[in-house]
Amino acid sequence: MTLHSALKALVSCAVLAGFLALAAGPAAAQGSQHRRGTLTAVQGDMLTIQTRSGNTETIKMADNAGLFIVTNADMSAIKSGKFVGITSVEQGGKRLAREVHVFNESLRGLGEGHYPWDLDAGPNMMTNANIAQVQEVGGDRVLKLNYSGGEQTIAIPPSAAVVAFDKTTRDQLVPGRMVFVIVKKQDDGSNAASAVVVGADGVKPPM
């Protein structure tokens, strides 16, 4: 194996570990917690975050932590054939989206499924799936979504947050940016960030 191939394989393994960290279905969610807030300092592998509750927490990044970035997008990015992540609530007998993450094609399959999430205090679900069909119903865009083992129909109102979601590198971990962090207990009992989603240019990761 050449040096180039070896490095490529190592990067692929690290990205895969990040994918698994974000696959927050019931089994994957065991032993993990979410942190939402503003990145205030970065020193080596240590991230300091001011959480939305106002607390400050310093978290070590795992060696194989997945790094992702979200940028502003709009309804035009929501098209048939795209792989998306949608957080939704049930309202009036139908699922209504609060946010839509349009994944880069290289992230297809990331966290695929339909499972409980913790965006709001009330019950809400995360659905990572392929868009099979897009319909216009009233003022909403209604998506038919397919994923391994099931399907969902979710309405996207004009008020829903829409972002593009992609892989990134450590240079995007800039103090002042808003972040979403998955913290997972390690084998030695300590906590470490297994995945970090950073918002670019003032974007808040809507997760």
Instruction: State yes or no: pLDDT of 17 exceeds 70.
Output: no
**Mean pLDDT in residue range 82-99:** 95
Question: Between β-strands 56-72 and 178-185, what pairing exists: parallel, antiparallel or unpaired?
Answer: unpaired
Compute the distance between CA of residue 177 and CA of residue 41 in angstroms, rounded to an integer: 10
Segment among 7-21, 23-37, 150-164, 180-194 with least mean pLDDT: 7-21
Q: 62, 192 in Cβ contact below 8 A? A: yes
166 CB-near residues (< 8 Å, 6+ apart): 68, 69, 71, 103, 104, 106, 107
Count of domains forming the chain: 1
SS3 9: helix
Question: Between β-strands 56-72 and 191-199, what pairing exists: parallel, antiparallel or unpaired?
Answer: parallel
Which of the 8 DSSP states describes residue 203? -
Instruction: Give 139's strand partners.
Output: none
pLDDT digits (tens, 9 = 90+) for 125-135: 999 999 999 99
Which of the 8 DSSP states describes residue 77? G
Tokens of 70: 């979200």
Range of the domain at 80: 1-207
Global pTM exceeds 0.85 = no
SS3 56: strand
**Mean pLDDT in residue range 171-198:** 90
